[in-house]
Structure 1
Amino acid sequence: MTIPHVMLNDGNSIPQLGYGVFLVPEDDTARAVSEALELGYRHIDTAAIYGNEAGVGAAIAASGIPRDELFITTKLWNDRHDGEQPHAAIAESLEKLGLDRVDLYLVHWPAPANNKYVHAWEKMIEIREAGLATSIGVSNHLVSHLDEIVSATGVVPAVNQIELHPAYQQSDITAWADKHDVRIESWGPLGQGKYDLFGAEPVAAAAAAHEKTPAQAIIRWHLQRGFIVFPKSVRRERLAENLNVVDFELSADEMAAIDALDPGDGSGRVGAHPTELN
């Protein structure tokens, strides 16, 4: 099985399908990541605030997989934007991960009430220049935040990781990303249970047509939209199922029908709003 890769705007390549460890308990993380790596995942997405970077690091160390075959992402939390805190934060994350660099480092949220996200982005650029992160990007940034950090620094993020699923597609952000050659990473890609996306007629029909599960049909939709996607599970059988999405392709009609599941009014959001989480 070959996981597709996409190119970032800085010339680096990233696996399009990864394993995210949001809400995976620290005690379960090493096992879950080890199983993911055994199954063929090579892209692991964690964050300082998840409290499980050490578990990810333990799994990496035990895997025996060459470092250059892995793609590891972690994130800068909201209380570390000011002063030299971003440098201290990446040092702490690298120590927990047991690595000398991450492949991608993200500003986790803009935290606009603190008004330090431009400063945080300036420090991310320094972190990349110091070789502590190969690529840098942001997460949960709206167009206004993106415009401001690019205007201030001239540096465009490699990725923006945002909540994205068929019922909430954030077309304004994805359009900005297309214009600026920024890759979108989808968190909560299956709708996080708020919507019965699995039972939605276009999803169910596509799944049946290709003899796949609804979850596999949705993950395939993300891949064909060009998004980088992180389905989450701690069950080995589900990890394997989520990876088994590269042997079929949704038709243009199937893609359009799933596209149409977004009501377009923003009601599909499940997680926090970027203007409110500080």
Structure 2
Amino acid sequence: MSNIPSFGVGTFRLKGQAVLDSVRNALDVGYRAVDTAQIYGNEAEVGQAVAASGVPRSDLFVTTKIWTENYARSKLVPSLQESLKKLRTDYVDLTLIHWPAPGNGVELSEYMEALAEAKAQGLTRQIGISNFNIELTKQAMAAVGQGEIATNQIELSPYLQSRKLTAFLKEQGITVTSYMTLAYGKVLQDPVLAQIAEKHQSTVAQVALAWALQLGYVVIPSSTKRENLASNLLARGLKLDMDDMARIAGLERNGREVSPDGLAPVWD
């Protein structure tokens, strides 16, 4: 199994000062993992916030993702070197292929081999995938070898539980990283989660995050508010009982928020 911290801060949709503040506050309240991506257009700000934090690089876990236009063998490593410059670091801890993008003209085996090459060159400590279904995960494993894929970062929330895919990943020893665990805030209005939160004197966000953590997933919630960043982190200490977990299991509704045409696979 990979050694990815179970709790990180996400930076999707955050730009400029918002990402600087969010990452600064996150590191300040105790986060040590930061998730970004080439397409987010904020790697430079993430690098700036990390540098200003004074947290030693060896204590941090930084993840970025390769964007589709950089999948060709000739482009992937140079694009990651560019990301490292922006992030002000010699290496990232984890690099993911952002979307399988089946129609974009670069074969899966080509971009997975190029990603493995980036690892061999020491640009990234671990490699993985994001938004891959079971079939494409199998192909990715075949391209780089058993045990090489650290994680599959996928959309998961109480409304989208992807049980078939998560069971497969678990069986393969691939860590599940859950993004949009709060379904863009939709789950925050859920009456069942509200009851569970009241029972534990916690917030609904903490309940949703604790649910994912208890299933063994890594979570990377984002927030621009310092108090929410600190509050989310407390989910690590919240223990849900079997009844809570069963009630949350019942919320499944295949509520997918993101599935861009041309990038997404056929979901399991």
- The TM-score range, normalised by the shorter chain, is over 0.9
Q: Contact (CA 8 Å) 1:164, 1:188: kept in 2 or not?
A: yes
Match of 1:4 in 2: none
What is the letter of the counterpart of residue 269 of structure 1? R
Letter in 2 for 1:178: K
Pair 1:14 & 2:4 matched: yes
Q: Residue in 2 aligned with 1:271? A: 258
Secondary structure of the equivalent of 1:95? helix
State the SS of the aligned residue for 1:55. Answer: helix
Identity, in percent, stands at 39
Distance 2:45 2:129 in 1: 23
1:33 is aligned with what amino acid? V
Give 1:249-268 correspondences, 5 Å limit.
249-263=239-253, 266=254, 268=255
- Aligned residue runs from structure 1 range 1-278, under 5 A: 7-8=1-2, 13-114=3-104, 115-155=106-146, 156-193=148-185, 195=186, 197-263=187-253, 266=254, 268-273=255-260, 276-277=263-264
- Partner amino acid for 1:191? A
Consecutive unaligned residues of structure 2, counting only runs of 5 or more, are: none
Unmatched 5+ residue regions in structure 1? 1-6
Which has more helix, going by share of residues? 2
Partner of 1:75, secondary structure, is strand
Distance 2:70 2:109 in 1: 13
Give the superposed CA RMSD. Answer: 1.6
1:192 is paired with a residue whose SS is: helix
Q: 1:231 to 1:214 in 2, by over 3 A?
A: same
TM-score, normalised relative to structure 1 = 0.90
Letter in structure 2 aligned against 1:175: A
Q: How many residues align structurally?
A: 263
Secondary structure in 2 matching 1:245: helix
Could you tell me which amino acid in structure 1 is paired with residue 87 of structure 2? L
User: Per-residue deviation at 1:202?
Assistant: 2.8
TM-score, scaled to structure 2: 0.93
Distance 1:252 1:274 in 2: 38
| Displacement over 6 Å in runs of 4+ | none
Cα distance, 1:35 vs. partner? 0.9
Offset of 1:51 from its aligned partner? 0.4
1:70-121 superposed Cα distances (whole Å, 9 cap, x missing partner):
0000010011111321101110100000000000000000100024222111
Aligned-partner Cα distance in 2 for 1:29–1:238: 15
Cα distance in 1 for partners of 2:195, 2:128 equals 36
Q: Could you tell me whether the CA contact under 8 Å between 2:207 and 2:238 is conserved in 1?
A: no
How far did residue 275 of structure 1 move?
Answer: 5.6
Distance 1:136 1:61, change over 3 A: same
In the alignment, the residues of structure 2 paired with residue 205 and residue 158 of structure 1 have an alpha-carbon distance, to the nearest angstrom, of: 35
| Contact 2:193-2:204 within 8 A present in 1 as well | yes
Query: Structure 1 residue 142: deviation in Å?
Result: 0.9
Change (3 A) 1:111 1:276: closer
